[in-house]
Amino acid sequence: MSSTAAYFNELYKGSDDPWKLRQGWYERRKRSLTLALLPRPRYRNAFEPGCANGELTAELATRCDALLAADLHETAVRLARERVAGMRQVRVEQCTVPHEWPTATAPFDLIVISEFAYYLDAADLEMLAARIAASLTPDGTLLACHWRRPFIEALENADTAHALFDARCGLSRLAHHDEADLLIDVWSRDARSVAQREGLL
């Protein structure tokens, strides 16, 4: 068993919400920021790898016609399925991203990489960026959101991961939210601002 798998096993053994995604103000605020930074009100086909117990998934689903969420851990997948039960536009699958990638359901006009990229080593981050670049629609959006503080299981940090997405995915950055704990960036193949998209400029 890999050290990453053992880490998640221990986390989920102790709690069905090990990061306090449901109740913590930090997490609730972060989800609000994430949703607010998306440049479009609605997306046709979205992908959220590393969905954990599905708290962000459930909120993303309100903005998506179809949403595929995925996680490598079976407990996370079960919990996420329970969280989005009744949301017919959402599917939750168990897979190891970036090595397993949902090519059958691509292209996506939204990919959300939230609290996930720092578990990948440099080679897997490069693979993830390539998969993203190959899977976005011509008007597609990438949102990345990550905790910035160091922790022992992180193989990379948030700033490194976001810089790699910026350099490798061939997208224009639309938004950048930077604070001590948190980094959120939004890129798109459509470089227009929200106001430009609405015809206000």
Q: Which domains does the chain have, with CATH numbers?
A: 3-197 (3.40.50.150)
- Where are any strands of DSSP class E within 39-171? 46-49, 67-71, 90-94, 108-114, 136-147
* Strand pairing class (182-188; 90-94): unpaired
pLDDT of residue 1: 40
Six-digit token pair at 96?
């190891």
**How many CA atoms does the CB half-sphere of 113 hold within 13 Å?**
26
pLDDT of residue 98: 97
pLDDT of residue 9: 59
With a cut of 70, say whether residue 64 has pLDDT above it. yes
